[in-house]
A and B are shown apart, each in its own frame.
Chain A
Amino acid sequence: MTAEGHSKRNPHNRPIDDLVFECCRELFSDYSLDALPRGVEEFPPPERLALCGVMGFGGRQMRGALVLAATREPLEKSNPGGFGSQRDWICELANQLMGRVKNRLLAVGVEILLATPAGLSGDNLNPAPGKVRTPQVFAVESGFVCVWIDCELSEGFELLMTPSGGFEAAMPEGETVLF
């Protein structure tokens, strides 16, 4: 994490926001792209956000949805073959991001089930002020990626991202095992 990264992070974020932040950077890094944190004031004009990928999830301790929105540039650069449609690709990226979040949550004893991703396009794609936390904004190539998670915790449950052992380990991303 760079000093710039720290300074751009929302100081009021919950542990789940921080987890999504880290996972988003890792995801784009796996596609050889730097996701550089930006302040929320740099949230791109809604008309620049091409599409959203939405991933629903639910479990005993938490439920909600993750939204990944992007301008066209990061979608094109992360899929250099230009395979499929941008709508399909942002759905897949949201799926891979939420899969990564799920795998990290398993290490702290939180199990969630993932829905299949849905694509969403619109003229004004913004999180509702006051309803969800501030989106995480990243500069990726010459465009932007924004991610936010709208999440409800079960009563009395507090998410602590401190691995304490004894919980189910997950295979890391990119790994292959043969049986």
Chain B
Amino acid sequence: MDKKILIIDDSTTVRHQVRAALLGNGFEILEAADGVEGLSTITEHQDLAAVVCDVNMPRMGGLQMLELAKAKGLLATLPVVMLTTEGQASLVQQAKSLGAKGWIVKPFKPELLVLTMRKLTAS
């Protein structure tokens, strides 16, 4: 059975690129366009295997969403990887302290994304 991955990014193109990379590799994809939609989807879908999340988005950014998801106890068993143009060490550290399991600086390599998601969802 395919593992369910949520991609949160305000760029439709990036969401579709992630979808194309992961589909056919044992993953099923859900999409959200910002942190508000992302948080709502995480709350509704308790069977998510992992989340891929942008940082800078309208309405609610990825780090704020992470903070809220952590406060709601939604990240206990749900790995989140940030996929962003940001590479600032303090932001990476902030994501780590909020419970993120990884950080990828765009542009991403599809094969590396697949490997990363396999590793994070291996259990």
Q: Which of chain B's residues has its CB closest to A101's CB? A: B85
Contact digits for A77-120, partner B, Cβ 8 Å, 1 yes 0 no? 00101011100110110011011101100100001001110000
Contact digits for B64-103, partner A, Cβ 8 Å, 1 yes 0 no? 0000000000000000000011111110100010001111
Q: CB within 8 A of B103: which of A84, A85, A168, A171?
A: A171
B17 surroundings in chain A (CB, below 8 A)? 79, 81, 83
- Interface range for B: 35 or more
- Number of A residues with CB within 8 Å of any CB on chain B: 36
Are B84 and A99 within 8 A (Cβ)? yes
Which residues of A are in contact with B by a Cβ distance under 8 Å?
A: 27, 30-31, 79, 81, 83-85, 88-89, 91-92, 95-96, 98-100, 102-103, 106, 111, 114-116, 168-179
Which residues of B are in contact with A by a Cβ distance under 8 Å?
A: 10-17, 20, 56-58, 84-90, 92, 96, 100-109, 112, 116, 119-120
- A96-B106, A103-B86, A106-B88 are known; give 19 further A-B pairs, CB within 8 A: A30-B107, A79-B13, A79-B17, A83-B16, A83-B17, A84-B14, A84-B16, A95-B56, A111-B88, A114-B56, A114-B85, A169-B89, A171-B92, A171-B105, A174-B105, A174-B106, A176-B103, A176-B112, A177-B102
